[in-house]
Structure 1
Amino acid sequence: KISILAPIGSALLGLSIGQEIEWPAPGGGMIRVRIIDILYQPERSGDYHR
């Protein structure tokens, strides 16, 4: 799980299953992150309240 409150989590917002981004790794280099599943999407579930 990745929290949307983490910087990488907010970078993933709006992506769909199968999409990828590259993210700077803490020790240098890049990490490729692929969306393989979305556990909960409030808008799709009709949960528009805050």
Structure 2
Amino acid sequence: MAKPEFHQKTEVEDSSSLKGTLASVGILGLIILITWFSAFNLFLDRQ
């Protein structure tokens, strides 16, 4: 039986797109942290 040959094209992605992804995730994390601490502070103030 013949072995199947796989021809895969490997392309190197541009690293600038990954830098944009890292910046987006960082900004989103910062927004989540600010929201969480704001809600926690509101919880402590109402006790």
Q: Give the structure, 1 or 2, with the largest relative contact order (CA under 8 Å, sep 6 or more).
A: 1
Fold shared by both chains (TM-score > 0.5): no
TM-score grouping bracket, smaller chain normalisation: under 0.3
- The structure with the larger Rg is 2
TM-score, structure 1 as length reference: 0.23
Please state which structure has a larger fraction of its residues in helix: 2
